[in-house]
């Protein structure tokens, strides 16, 4: 397994400010750990951090 949380958070931190009006996460199956890790990274990544998922 790889750590998807940190790389996803770093990527989102760079991209989200360019599209602050609307930024969505379209993930995979929630029972798979890579999907859960990427969602965790997504919610941690935008400026201000720890944003709630819709």
For residue 43, the model assigns a pLDDT of 85
For residue 34, the model assigns a pLDDT of 86
For residue 2, the model assigns a pLDDT of 63
Decide if 21 contacts 4 (C-beta within 8 A).
no
- Mean pLDDT, consecutive 10-residue stretches, the chain (54 aa), reads 81 84 82 87 69 50
- With tokens 């919610």, the residue in question is 43
CA-to-CA distance for 39 and 33, rounded, in angstroms? 10
For residue 1, the model assigns a pLDDT of 55
């Amino acid at each position: 397994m790889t750590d998807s949380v940190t790389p996803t958070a770093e990527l989102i931190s760079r991209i989200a400010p360019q599209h602050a009006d609307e930024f969505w996460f379209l993930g995979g199956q929630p029972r798979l750990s890579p999907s859960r890790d990427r969602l965790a990274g997504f919610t941690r990544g935008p400026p201000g951090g720890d944003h709630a998922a819709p």
